[in-house]
A and B are shown apart, each in its own frame.
Chain A
Amino acid sequence: MALKGAEIMKKLPKTNCKECGCATCFAFAMKLATGGVKLDDCPYLDPEVKAELKGAMAPPIKLVTIGTGQNAVVIGEEEVMFRHEKTFFHEPGIAVLISDRESESSIDEKIARVKNLRFERVGNVLKINLLALSNDSGDGGRFETLVKKAYETTDFPFILISEDTDILFSAAAMCADRRPLVYPITSENVSASIPKLKELGVPAGVKGDSLDEVISVTTQLKDAGVEESVIDPGSKNMLDGIRDQTLIRRAALKKGFRPLGYPTMAFPCNMYQDKYEEVLATSALMTKYAGIVVTSLTEKDFIFPLLVHRFNIYSDPRRPMTVEEKVYEVSQPDENSPILISTNYALDFFIVSGAIEEANIPAFLCIKDTGGIGVLAAWTSGKFTGEAIAEFLKKYDVENKVKHRKLIIPGVAKKLKDELEEELPSWEILLGPSEASDIPKFLSEEWKV
C-alpha cells in the first residue's frame, strides 16, 4: 500500500524470468504496488525480502476481527483522517457494558434490551454490535456465570474485561470459539498474556496510560506473533479522547508508525456520569476515529441517535445514498389522499416524507429510481422526465390506488409539468413547492379532492 513500484523494484531479482506472468520484473513491481498481483507469484524472492516487503505493504492500520460469522465486528484498515478525502471504511462497533456486579435480573433485562436495539433505516439494519462483559466483582465464578449466560443466550461478539489476568483468560477459554476481545493487556500483564493469547487465538485489547506504554505493549505483542490488537489510550474525557485518537491515527497513516497501526477503542461509559454527556462523548469519539465505543446505556432514546450518527458518518461520500423505488404510503393514505412524486435520492426522500408526516395529511409518495440523483439533474439526464414518470405510474398501478387524477410534482421541475400534461392528458399536474419545508403548508392549503 504505502510502497511505490520503484521501491519494490529494488528488492526484486531483476532477472525478468517471466515466471510470475509479467513481462519484466518492473512490470511485476508496478502491479504489486497497486494490488494487481501477489508477492507469492514471484518464485525467486528471498524469504527475508518477502517478509520485509509484506510488512511494508501491509495497510497502515491493521484489520482486526472480533467475533465470528455474520455478527463479527471488523475494524481497522482506515485510510484517511477526513471522510471527504475518501471514506471511512469500517464502522465502529458499539458495545454495551454489563457488569458481573449487577443482579441476575438486571443482567437478563439488559441483555433483552440490547437484543431489541435494532432498527431499520433505508434498508439498513442499525444495531448494537458487542457486549462488553466486565469483571468488577473480582470474583472468578461470578464472571464465568455472566460470560456463560451471554454466550448461551446471545450471539453477540464479546469484549471480556478483567483486571485479574487469570480470571480474564479462563473466561476467554470458555468462549474462545467466538473470538472475544480480551482486555486489558497492559505493560504489567503482557508477558504472561502472550502465550494465552496465542493459544486461544484471540485479539488483544491493549491499554496504556500513555501512548508510550501502548507502544511498548503492541511492540511486544507483535514481536511474539500476536497480530491483532485494539488500542485503548486510556482517555479520561471527550477532549483527551479526541487528542489521543487523532494522534494515533495520524501516527499510523502519516508516519507509517506500525506500533500504533491498530484500530482503537474508547470507554465513554467511564468518562461521564450524566447520560446525555455520555451520548455526546460517544458520538464524538465515533466521529473522531474510535473503532469500538463502550457505552453503559441501553435506553432506546439514547442509543438510537448514536446508531443513526454512526450510519451517517460512515456512509460513503463517493456514492449517492438511495432508497428503494416504490410507492411509499405515508401515514396510511386512502383513495382520496394526495400523490406526490420525487427521486430516490435518500435525502430528498427523508425530507419529503418527513414533511408529509409533519403536514398530518396521509399521502402516497412515489419514489422513482434516478440512481440517487436529485430532481433537476435527473430530469436533465432523462431519468425523471414526463415519459419516465408516466411509465412509473403505469408500472406501479398508481391509477388504481386513488379516485382522483392529481399528481403533485417537485416545484423546481417547472418544465416537467408541461411534459407530464402531454404524457398524461387525463391527469391534473400540480406544481408543488420548491422547498420540501413548504409541503405542509402546500398540502393544507392546496389539497382538495
Chain B
Amino acid sequence: MFQAPLEKYPVNIREVILGLGEKAKKIGGENTFPLHFFEGSLPNPPGLGLEVLDMQPENWPTWALDPFEDVVSDPVEWAKKGVEEYGAEILCLRLLSTDPMGMDVAPEEAAKTVRKVVDSLNTPLIVLGTGAEDKDSKVLTEVARECSGKNLLLGPALKGNYQEIAKAALEHGHAIVAQASMDANLTKELNIALCKFFPPERIVVDPTSSALGYGMEYTFSIIESIKQFGLVDKDNMMQMPIFADIGIECWRTKEAKESKDQGVLWEATTGMTFLLAGANLVVLRHPEALRLIKNMISN
C-alpha cells in the first residue's frame, strides 16, 4: 500500500474573531495549507464578504449593479440585502465618500453611516477607508469611537498611519487590517511594529490584491509565501490570517465590463485563486461570485 506523503506543521495560523455574538465569525486557526482537509485541521472555513459602498457606485457595469440596483443609495438597505437575499455572512463597508480627492465627507458623518449599518444588523463588518493615510486615520479613529465595543475589522492600517488606527482600535475593541503592498517582508515589518502595542490575535494582513490578468500571480505568490513562512518556518509574525479585497480590482478591468459571465468569472476565479494561495478572508462584489465560491469550498 502506498503511504501518502502527508505533512504536519506544528503551528496554527492565528484565529481572529470578527463581530459579536451569535453571528460572529472566526477566521484562520488552521494548521495546514488551504483546503488541505486531508492532512490537517481547518476549523474555520474562509470568510467570504460582500462589499457595500457608502455612496452611489460609479463606473460599475450594469451586471455588477443589477443585484443591488434598488438599494445603492442607502448603505443600510444595501447591507441588509447582501445578508438577507444573498447570504453574506460578512460585510465590507467601503467609505468611498471620504476620499479626499473626491467628496471628502467628514469623519463624523462617515462614522454615523457605519453606526447605522452596525445598528441595523449583527453581521460582522469590515470597514475600509480609501487608502489616503491622513484622512483614513481620522475617519477610522472616529469610526472606532462611534462603534466602540462592536469588534469591527478596521483598515487599511498602513505604514504611515497604523499607530493612530491601531490605538483607536485597541481602545475601542476592534480588529485591524494591516496592509503592506506586494512584499512579504513589508508585511512582517508592519506586524512587528504593530505587535509592540497591539494584540496579534486582532490583526489581519492584506498584502494588496490584483486582478486576474493584472498581476494576480504576484498576489498569489505573496500570499503563498506568507502562509509558508507562517506554517513551515513557524514565523509568528507571519501567522496572521490573510485578507484579499478583490471586488474593486476585478470590476475595474475591461474584461469584467465586457459581459456578465466573464465579469462574474473574472472575480470568482481571482477569489478562488487567492483562497488556494491561503487567503482567509475574501471580499467580493458580485453575489454570484460569492455563491459560487461558497458552494465549491464547502467540504
Contacts from A to B (Cβ < 8 Å): 82-84, 121, 211-212, 215, 238-239, 242-243, 246-247, 250-251, 254-255, 257, 276-277, 279-281, 283-284, 287-288, 299, 301-302, 304-306, 308-309, 311-313, 315, 317, 347, 350-351, 354, 357-358, 437-438, 440-441
**Interchain residue pairs with CB less than 8 A apart (26):** A82-B228, A83-B221, A215-B2, A238-B296, A242-B36, A250-B5, A250-B7, A276-B264, A280-B296, A283-B273, A284-B276, A287-B276, A301-B261, A305-B212, A308-B213, A309-B273, A312-B212, A313-B217, A313-B220, A347-B210, A347-B214, A347-B215, A350-B213, A358-B252, A438-B101, A440-B59
Q: Which residue of B lies closest to A353 (CB)?
A: B254
Q: Which 3 A-B pairs have the closest CB atoms?
A: A301-B261, A84-B221, A301-B262
B299 touching A280, Cβ below 8 Å: no
A277 touching B5, Cβ below 8 Å: no
Contacts from B to A (Cβ < 8 Å): 1-2, 4-7, 35-38, 59, 101-102, 210, 212-218, 220-222, 224-225, 228, 252-255, 258-259, 261-262, 264-266, 268-269, 272-273, 276, 288, 292-293, 295-297, 299
How many Å lie between the Cα of A82 and that of B222 in the bound state? Answer: 11
B214 touching A354, Cβ below 8 Å: yes
B214 touching A247, Cβ below 8 Å: no
Interface centre among A243, A251, A301 (most CB of B within 10 A): A301
**Given A313-B217, A357-B254, 14 extra CB contacts under 8 A:** A82-B228, A83-B221, A84-B224, A211-B4, A239-B297, A247-B4, A247-B5, A251-B4, A301-B265, A305-B212, A313-B273, A350-B215, A358-B254, A441-B101
Chain B hits for A215, CB < 8 A: 2
How many Å lie between the Cα of A313 and that of B269 in the bound state? Answer: 12
How many Å lie between the Cα of A317 and that of B182 in the bound state? Answer: 13
B253 touching A354, Cβ below 8 Å: yes
B278 to chain A, nearest CB (A): 10
A279 touching B252, Cβ below 8 Å: no
Interface centre among B7, B35, B210, B225 (most CB of A within 10 A): B35
- What is the count of residue pairs linking A and B with beta-carbon distances less than 8 angstroms? 130
Known A280-B268, A304-B262: A354·B254 in contact at CB below 8 Å = yes
Q: Which residue of B lies closest to A252 (CB)?
A: B5
How many Å lie between the Cα of A301 and that of B24 in the bound state? Answer: 37
A337 to chain B, nearest CB (A): 19
B217 touching A358, Cβ below 8 Å: no
How many Å lie between the Cα of A358 and that of B288 in the bound state? Answer: 24
Within the complex, which residue of B7, B35, B264, B269 is in contact with A283, where a contact is CB–CB below 8 Å? Answer: B269
Chain A hits for B225, CB < 8 A: 82, 84
Interface centre among A246, A306, A437 (most CB of B within 10 A): A246
A302 touching B217, Cβ below 8 Å: no
Q: Which residue of B lies closest to A237 (CB)?
A: B296
Interface centre among A215, A247, A255 (most CB of B within 10 A): A247
A315 touching B217, Cβ below 8 Å: yes
A239 touching B273, Cβ below 8 Å: no
* Main SS class of interface, A: helix
Known A246-B36, A347-B210: A280·B221 in contact at CB below 8 Å = no
How many Å lie between the Cα of A437 and that of B225 in the bound state? Answer: 27
Known A276-B265, A283-B273, A288-B276: A304·B255 in contact at CB below 8 Å = yes
Known A84-B224, A358-B252: A255·B5 in contact at CB below 8 Å = yes
Chain A hits for B222, CB < 8 A: 84
How many Å lie between the Cα of A251 and that of B6 in the bound state? Answer: 9
How many Å lie between the Cα of A83 and that of B222 in the bound state? Answer: 10
A374 to chain B, nearest CB (A): 11
A309 touching B212, Cβ below 8 Å: yes
Q: Which residue of B lies closest to A440 (CB)?
A: B59
Chain B hits for A84, CB < 8 A: 221-222, 224-225
How many Å lie between the Cα of A279 and that of B288 in the bound state? Answer: 14
Known A83-B221, A351-B214, A354-B253: A276·B268 in contact at CB below 8 Å = yes
Chain B hits for A309, CB < 8 A: 212, 216, 269, 273
Chain B hits for A317, CB < 8 A: 217, 221
A239 touching B37, Cβ below 8 Å: yes
Chain A hits for B265, CB < 8 A: 276, 279-280, 301-302, 305
Q: Which residue of A lies closest to B217 (CB)?
A: A312
B261 touching A302, Cβ below 8 Å: yes
Chain B hits for A239, CB < 8 A: 35, 37, 297, 299
A437 touching B252, Cβ below 8 Å: yes
Chain B hits for A313, CB < 8 A: 217, 220, 273
Chain B hits for A242, CB < 8 A: 35-36, 276
B259 touching A301, Cβ below 8 Å: yes
A139 to chain B, nearest CB (A): 35
Interface centre among A82, A257, A287, A305 (most CB of B within 10 A): A305
Chain A hits for B266, CB < 8 A: 305
A112 to chain B, nearest CB (A): 20
